[in-house]
Structure 1
Amino acid sequence: MRKTDGLFKLLGLCVLAGILVAGMLFPVVGGIGVASNKASETVDSMSAELATVPPPLVTKVTDSAGNLIATLYDQYRIPTAPSQINDAMKWALISVEDRRFLEHHGVDWKGTIRAALSNSTGADTQGASTLTQQYVKNYLINVVYRGDAIGQQKAQEQSVARKLKEARIAIQLETKMTKDQILASYLNVVEFSRKIYGIGAAAQAYFNTTPEKLTVPQAALLAGMVNNPPVFDPWGHPENATQRRNLVLDRMVDNRKLAPADAERFKAEPLGVVPDGPAKSAANCTGAGPENGFFCQYVEDYLLTNGMSKTDLYTGGYTIRTTMDQNAQHQAKVSAEAQVKKTQKNVANTLSLVRPGKDRHEVVALAANKDYGPDASKGQTTYALPSDVSNVTGAGSDYKIFTAAAALEQHKTGIFAQIQTPQSYASKVFTSDQRNCPQVGLGTYAYCLSNYGEGIYGASMTLQQALATSPNTGFVILEEQAGMTAVLDMARRLGMRNTMASNSANGGPVDPANKDLRYSLPQQKYYGPGGGSKNGFGSFTLGVSPTSGLELANVAATLMSGGVWCPPTPIASITDRDGKPKAFQEAKCEQVVPEGLANSLVVGMSKDDTEGTSHAAAQAAGWTRPMIGKTGTTQESGSAAFVAAVPQMAGAAMVFRPDNPVGGLCDGAGNVTPCADGNMFGGKAPARTWFGAMNAILAGQPVLPLPPSDPAYEH
C-alpha cells in the first residue's frame, strides 16, 4: 500500500471519529450533518422497539392437570435472570467479546480507534462493538426483525449511519440498565445455533443443565459460539468448536479470571455436549408424542381459527392449559388401537370425546389408532384425523339424527309415534340419475332405495324403534316431510358447523372458482334445494358426505346438554409470559333446539344398546349404563360410525379409509382391513371402540339417568 493511501485513510478515520463523537453528543449540541440527522430520526423509534417488542419465547401446552405435553416455538429460549447466570459464564463472555465491558459506558472508544487503525493498515479486520452494542444488534436481528431479511440486513450493514445509531442506543441503555442487566439481556437474546437462543436454552440443549451450574469449559464453549454459531457448532464442527473454546480459555487467562494451569487442564477435556444433537423439545405438536399429538394439533387449529396468529402462538410464551383428560386420552387411544392396528394401511379408527354442559363443551380426548408423527411406515400421520372433516365417505345413518330432530321440531312425528318404514321406496320429491328407478320426467328418475336385508323391518314402527334399528326408507320419508332445508339447517345447528361449511367432495375448503359444484358449494348448499339438485339430495340423511368425528361427538353433547350447542373447546385457560390471563375468541353457546325436543330425542336414541344395532357390542362389553347411541354405515361398508353419550360424556367413533376412500372395510379379529366386499357396520369396530374406552373412563363414576322426554314431542 502506498504511503499516500495510508495517509488519506488515516485522515478519513479522523473525520469518522469526529462524526461519531459529535453524534454521541447530538442530543446536547445539535446536528452535525446528514448522517447524524438520519440517526436522530430513527434512534428514538429503534429504542422504542427494543423496549416494546418482547423476545420470542416458548409456548407451553399442558393437559387439564397442568402436565406439559408439548412446546411450540420459533426460537427455543428459556428466560434467565442475572442471578441465575454464574460467574464462569459471565467472565467467559466478557473475556472473549468485550474485555473492558465493566469500564466503558456503552461504546469502547479505545477499542474503536484501535480497530479502525488496524483495519485501515490492511491488517486483520477487527471489530470494536461492545457487548452493549452487540446486544442492540442481536436484539434487532433476532427479535425486532426476525423473519424480515431486509430489516436484518440493515441491522448489520457496515455503514456509518448504522454504527452511529447502534452506538447511541447503547449509550442510552447504559444510563437505564446496570452492567449485570445488560449482560444478562445479551445472554438471553443471542443465538447459539439450531434455533437455540439465550443462555438458558443453550445450557439445557448443549449440556442438559442450567446457567447456574455451567462449568468453566462449558461456559467457554458457549461464549465462543456467539461469534459465529454455525461455524462453531459442536456437533457439526467439533474441531472448530474445540479451538474456539480453547481460545476463550486463553482470553480468560489474559483477563486474569482463570489460572493458566486450570486453562490447560480444561483444554484437555472433551467438549462434553449431549450426544446426537441438542437436548431440546420439539418445536411443534410432534413433541406431544404419538398419543397426545392429535389433541395438540386441534389446540393449534382451534386458536388459529379463533383469531390468534401463528406468529403470536409460536412466540408469545403462553401457557395453554387444555381440557385434555390424560386418562381419557389414554383409554381412547388404547381402545382405538384394540380394534384397528396402527400399522394397518389406509384404515383410520378415531374416537372423539366431549364433556356435555350448558356453558361449555370441553373436549377431553382426540385419539386414533394411528400415532401422531411424521413417519408413515410406523403408522404415523400429522393429519388431524379425529377433528378435521377427514372421513370423506361419511358417517352413514348417524345423520338420521338430524332428520329426526327436524321432524320433531315441526311436529311431523313424535318419538313414540308410528312412522312408515316400507322395505323399498321411490321418492318423487328427491330425484336421481338412477335409471333402474321409476322415471318421473324427461331424463329424470325417482330417488329409490331399500332397507338393509329382507323381512327385518315391518311396514311401520315408532321413531324410537327406527332410531335403534335404522331403516333407510323411514328417514327418507321423514326427510321429505320436514324438507331438506330444515334437515340441513338442523345438522348445522346441532353441531356440524365446519362440516356443513366444507365442500362435499373431500371435506376441504370451498373453491368458488371450481366448475364442479361438489367443490364450489358448501355442503349446506350443495345438498339443499337448488344446489346440486332441484329439491336437494335425499341421500343426505344416509350420511354420504364428508364428516368430522369431533363435530359428530359434539352433536351428542348438544343433545345431552338440553339442546345447548357450545363450540367443542380444547382450551381451559391461557396465561401470558407474565402469568396474566389472556383472553381468546370463542363462539358463544346457543340454545339451538328447545330443551324438551333435545331431551325427547335423547329418549328416542336410548334403545340402540339394548334393542338396536349396537346391542351385541354393548353386551360383549358388559355395558349396563343408560345411554344414547346411533350407528351408521355407508355404501359398500366403506366407512362406519357410532355416536353415543352418557350424561357425563359424549363421543363419536369412526372407522374409514383416509388415503383411498374407494372400496369396503372388513372387520376381523383385532383389526380392520380394506377389502372389496365389506362387512363393516357401526355396531362393530366403532361401537366396540366406544364401549371399550368408556368402560375404563367411567369406572368408579356414578350411573346417571337420562332426562325424561317432553310430552309435546312424544306423539
Structure 2
Amino acid sequence: MRTRDGLFKMLGLCLLAGVLVAGLLFPIVGAAGVISNQASDTVESMSSDLADVPPPLVTTVTDSAGNPIATLYEQYRIPTAPEEISDAMKWALISVEDRRFYEHHGVDWKGTIRAAVSNTSGGDTQGASTLTQQYVKNYLINVIYRNDQLGQQKAQEVSVARKLKEARIAIQLETKLSKEQILAGYLNVVEFSRRIFGVGAAAQAYFNTTADKLTVTQSALLAGMVNNPAVYDPWNNPEKATERRNWVLDKMVENLKLSREDAERLKAEPLGVVPDGPSKPAANCIGAGPENGFFCQYVEDYLLSHGMDKEELYTGGYTIRTTMDQRANHEAKRSAEEQVSKTQDNVANTLSLVRPGKKRHEVVALAANKDYGTDASQGQTVYALPSSTANVTGAGSSYKMFTAAAILEQRKYGIYDRVQVPGSYVSRVFMGGGESCPYVGQGTRAYCVSNAGSYPGSMTLQQALATSPNTAFVILEEQAGMKAVVDMAYKLGMRATMTSNAATGGPVDRSADNQQVSQSQREYFGPSERSPGKGSFTLGVSPTNGLELANVAATIMSGGVWCPPTPIAQITDRNGAAVPIEEKPCEQVVPEGLANSMAVGMSEDDKPGGTAAAAAAAANWTRPMIGKTGTTQNNGSAAFIGATPQLAGAAMVFRPDHPNGGLIDGGPGNVYATDGTYGNMFGGKTPARTWFGAMTKILEGEPALPLPPAHPRYERVR
C-alpha cells in the first residue's frame, strides 16, 4: 500500500508539473484543452476587471472654504505613489513575501514547483505566490469581489485552476506595469486589519505618519501583517505582532537589506503604534462631529436623492465642496443650544439658513440644539432635524404668509388695504369644526376660529402679518380659495413638504385607509369634489420641513425666484474632474413686484407691536428684515421665519419624539415638554430668539441693506 501511495503521489507531481509548465507557455502558444480554454476566458475577463474596476477610495466632504469636515468610505485607503513609499517598507515586504521579486516575470516557477511538491507530498503547506500574484488575488478579494462573498471564496480557493488563472494575469501585468508600479499597486490594495487598506492608510492609522516616512520597525510590523491581518493585529495581539515583526527583521537580514546588529537592536524596540486602536477617521457623517453632522447628513441625503448611488458615494473618492459656512453654522448651533439644552428630553430647536439669489439658493447652515451622533443620553441624534420634515405638528401662523401672497396675486387686497378682524369667525365655506361649531348640514359642522388675543376690528394686511390674527386670515383664505393658497405654499418653496403626507410628513401611502396618510398635503388640504378644502391650513397645522420654510423666505427675498436649496458648491472625482449634479432650474414663481411687496408686508414683525418685537429688542436688532412667527395648537411647536437681503432662515422648536403635548418656555435654557396638552410657547419666544441670536453674530460687520420697495400694483387695490 505504501508503494502504491508513493506511485500515486509521483503521478500527481508529474501531472501538476505539466499543468504548471503549460501555464508558463500560455502567453506564447495559447491554451489547449477544456481546462486551458476556460482558464484563458476567465483570465481575459478578470484582466479586464482589474483594469476597469478602480479600488474604493475615501470621499471627502468639505465646507465652503475647502476645509474637510467628514470622510465617507467603505475601505479606509489613502492612494500612495511608488515614490511616496519608503524603501524600508518596500524591502520589508519583498523580504518576507517575495525575495526574487525583481528577478521573475510575474510567476516564480522555481518556488511554485517547490511549494507544489511540498504540498502534494504532505509537507508544510506553502503558497509560493509572487507579489504580482498576490496583487491579483488581493485586488479580486478587496476590490472586485469586495461585496461578493462567493467571489472572494473563489479568488482564494486552493486549486490548480485558480493558480493558473492567477499566474496568467500576473504574467500579463508584468508586461504592462513596471516592478515599482506592481509593488505600489499591491501596497495600495492589501488590507492591514480593521478595514484599513493600503500602506498610506496603514501608516496614518498605525503610526500617525505617511508612507514615505515609515521606519524599518514600522515597515516590518506592517509587512508581517499582510499574511494574516487579524492574527497580527498589534492592539489585540501585541505579543504575536511583536514576534511576527521580529521575524520579518530576520528575513530582511537574510535578504541582505539589514545588518544582523541592527536587527537585534531593533527587535528591542516597542511596537510604537498609536494608543487605543488605529487612528482613522469615522466612515460616515458621525465624523463631521456634533456641530457639522447635520449638514453632512443633508449632503448625503441630497446626493442620493439626485441620482448618486450610496456605494458610489462611499467608494468613489470624490471631493465634495459644500456651501456650508463654518462660522454661520457655528453661530446657528450656538444660538439653538443657548435656547434649549441639548439633553432636554423631547425638545428639538432647529435653525436652517439659506442664501437668497436669482441663480442659486445655497444652504449656509443647518443646526439644532441636539448634537449629531448616536449617544442619545448625551443629547445626540442622527435624525436630520433641520433639513427633513421632522416637525410633524406644524409651523403655526407662519403659513399665513401663503394666504397673504395668494390674495395679493389675485389683487383682492394690497398690503396697505384693511382686512376684517372679528374676534371670532364661523366659516361656512370650510367644514370640520369642533363641537362648539354650528351644523351646516346633516352631520357636518362649520369651521370655527377665534383669535388668541385682542385686536381692533380691522387693520392693514401688513399689520395683520405682524400681529397675526387668526380670523383675518381664514376670511382671506375663503376669498382666495384654498387651491390658490395651497399652490402658493408649493410655489414659494414647500415642495417636499406639500408632496408628503399630512400625518407624518413621510411618503404618501396610496393604499392606506387614513386619508391624511394616503394623500399628499397638497391634496389633503386642497379642494376636492367633496370639500372646498381645509381652512386650518393657514394656521400651519401640518408637518413642516424647516429648510424648506427657510427657502420660502429666500424666494421672497430673491424677487419671487424659487431655486432648489442646494448644499453643493462643487464635486470632483478621484482624478480631479468635475462631476455635474442635475438640479432643478430656478423658477420665477411669482412676479417680482409681488415678492417685493410681500417683503414690505412682512417687514413689521420686529417692530413694536409685532409678534417678534421682544426678541428683536433683546438682540438689539436694527436691520431691515422680513419676519413671521407661528404657534400651533396646545403650544406644542412654534416657528419663526425671517430674512435680510443677505440671508434667510427659519427656526422651529417642536417635540420630535412624542409630538402630542405642549412646550413650556421659561426663558433661554429653560424650555421643556409638558406631560399634558398645555404650554406657553410662541414663535416670538424660543424660535425668534434663536434666529436673532444667530443672525446678529453672522451678519456682524455686514452692511444693513434695505428691503426692495413694494410695487404700486400690490400696495392698494381697494
In the superposition, the TM-score normalised over structure 2's length comes to 0.97
Asked if residue 670 in structure 1 is aligned to residue 668 in structure 2, the reply is: yes
Asked if residue 475 in structure 1 is aligned to residue 460 in structure 2, the reply is: no
CA contact (8 A) 1:88 1:219 kept: yes
Q: Which residue of 2 aligns with 1:236?
A: 236
Q: Which residue of 1 aligns with 2:533?
A: 536
Q: Which residue of 2 aligns with 1:695?
A: 696
Asked if residue 592 in structure 1 is aligned to residue 593 in structure 2, the reply is: no
What's the CA shift for 1:30? 3.5
- Partners of 1:507 and 1:540 lie apart in 2 by 15
What's the CA shift for 1:261? 2.0
What's the CA shift for 1:271? 1.2
CA contact (8 A) 2:637 2:663 kept: yes
CA contact (8 A) 2:482 2:532 kept: yes
CA contact (8 A) 1:564 1:593 kept: yes
**Which region of structure 1 is more displaced relative to structure 2, 513-522 or 561-570?**
513-522
Counterpart mapping for 1:237-276 below 5 A: 237-276=237-276
Q: Which residue of 1 aligns with 2:627?
A: 629
Asked if residue 710 in structure 1 is aligned to residue 707 in structure 2, the reply is: no
Alignment RMSD: 1.3
- Partners of 1:412 and 1:125 lie apart in 2 by 90
CA contact (8 A) 1:495 1:555 kept: yes
Counterpart mapping for 1:371-410 below 5 A: 371-410=371-410
Counterpart mapping for 1:439-518 below 5 A: 439-453=439-453, 456-518=454-516
The gaps in structure 1 that reach 5 residues or longer are none
Q: Which residue of 2 aligns with 1:17?
A: 17
Deviations 1:499-552 (A, max 9, x none): 112111111222222221222222111222239x72221111100111111100
2:560 aligned partner, one-letter code:
G
Asked if residue 577 in structure 1 is aligned to residue 604 in structure 2, the reply is: no
**Which region of structure 1 is more displaced relative to structure 2, 471-480 or 624-633?**
471-480
CA contact (8 A) 1:35 1:160 kept: no
What's the CA shift for 1:241? 1.3
- Partners of 1:466 and 1:709 lie apart in 2 by 17
Q: Which residue of 1 aligns with 2:542?
A: 545
What's the CA shift for 1:480? 1.4
Asked if residue 91 in structure 1 is aligned to residue 88 in structure 2, the reply is: no
In the superposition, the TM-score normalised over structure 1's length comes to 0.98
Deviations 1:273-300 (A, max 9, x none): 1011110111111111111111111111
- Partners of 2:499 and 2:263 lie apart in 1 by 67
Counterpart mapping for 1:132-531 below 5 A: 132-432=132-432, 434-453=434-453, 456-530=454-528
What's the CA shift for 1:26? 3.2
What's the CA shift for 1:423? 1.0
CA contact (8 A) 1:627 1:646 kept: yes
- Partners of 1:582 and 1:31 lie apart in 2 by 43
2:206 aligned partner, one-letter code:
Y
What's the CA shift for 1:251? 1.2
Q: Which residue of 2 aligns with 1:42?
A: 42
What's the CA shift for 1:433? 5.2
Structure 1 residues 593, 247: CA separation in 2 closer, same or farther (over 3 Å shift)? same
Deviations 1:601-621 (A, max 9, x none): 111101111141001111111
1:632 aligned partner, one-letter code:
G
- Partners of 1:704 and 1:22 lie apart in 2 by 81
What's the CA shift for 1:639? 0.5
SS in 1 for 2:606: helix
Deviations 1:219-241 (A, max 9, x none): 11101111111111111122221
Deviations 1:324-365 (A, max 9, x none): 111111111111111111111111111111000000001111
CA contact (8 A) 1:6 1:120 kept: no
- Partners of 1:552 and 1:13 lie apart in 2 by 76
CA contact (8 A) 1:23 1:32 kept: no
What's the CA shift for 1:3? 3.6
The gaps in structure 2 that reach 5 residues or longer are none
What's the CA shift for 1:27? 4.6
- Partners of 1:523 and 1:4 lie apart in 2 by 83
SS in 2 for 1:631: strand
- Partners of 1:14 and 1:516 lie apart in 2 by 76
- Partners of 1:249 and 1:366 lie apart in 2 by 52
SS in 2 for 1:143: helix
CA contact (8 A) 2:603 2:626 kept: yes
SS in 2 for 1:653: strand
- Partners of 2:430 and 2:158 lie apart in 1 by 74
- Partners of 1:551 and 1:684 lie apart in 2 by 21
Of 561, 564, 585, 1:564 maps to 561
1:492 aligned partner, one-letter code:
Y
- Partners of 2:227 and 2:518 lie apart in 1 by 54
Counterpart mapping for 1:57-76 below 5 A: 57-76=57-76
SS in 2 for 1:512: coil
SS in 2 for 1:139: helix
- Partners of 2:198 and 2:45 lie apart in 1 by 25
What's the CA shift for 1:195? 1.2
2:482 aligned partner, one-letter code:
M
Q: Which residue of 2 aligns with 1:643?
A: 641
CA contact (8 A) 1:415 1:600 kept: yes
Q: Which residue of 2 aligns with 1:131?
A: 131
CA contact (8 A) 2:640 2:651 kept: yes
- Partners of 1:161 and 1:62 lie apart in 2 by 47
Structure 1 residues 258, 649: CA separation in 2 closer, same or farther (over 3 Å shift)? same
2:251 aligned partner, one-letter code:
R
- Partners of 2:161 and 2:212 lie apart in 1 by 39
- Partners of 2:484 and 2:25 lie apart in 1 by 76
- Partners of 2:161 and 2:460 lie apart in 1 by 85
Q: Which residue of 1 aligns with 2:31?
A: 31
- Partners of 2:245 and 2:508 lie apart in 1 by 57
1:714 aligned partner, one-letter code:
E
Deviations 1:578-601 (A, max 9, x none): 112111121111111111111111
Identity percentage of aligned residues? 74
CA contact (8 A) 1:193 1:233 kept: yes
- Partners of 1:127 and 1:640 lie apart in 2 by 68
CA contact (8 A) 2:26 2:168 kept: no
Deviations 1:188-243 (A, max 9, x none): 00011111000000000001111111111111110111111111111112222122
Q: Which runs of 4+ in 1 moved over 6 A?
A: none
- Partners of 1:368 and 1:503 lie apart in 2 by 24
Deviations 1:631-665 (A, max 9, x none): 00001110110000000000000111111111111
Structure 1 residues 3, 486: CA separation in 2 closer, same or farther (over 3 Å shift)? farther
1:476 aligned partner, one-letter code:
V
CA contact (8 A) 1:463 1:604 kept: yes
- Partners of 2:228 and 2:528 lie apart in 1 by 65
- Partners of 1:510 and 1:156 lie apart in 2 by 48
- Partners of 1:536 and 1:519 lie apart in 2 by 16
CA contact (8 A) 1:58 1:75 kept: yes
**Which region of structure 1 is more displaced relative to structure 2, 118-127 or 503-512?**
503-512
**Which region of structure 1 is more displaced relative to structure 2, 144-153 or 186-195?**
144-153
1:473 aligned partner, one-letter code:
T
Deviations 1:291-334 (A, max 9, x none): 11111111111111111111111111111111111111111111
Deviations 1:150-203 (A, max 9, x none): 222222222332221111110000011111110000000001111100000000
SS in 2 for 1:61: strand
1:507 aligned partner, one-letter code:
G
1:209 aligned partner, one-letter code:
T
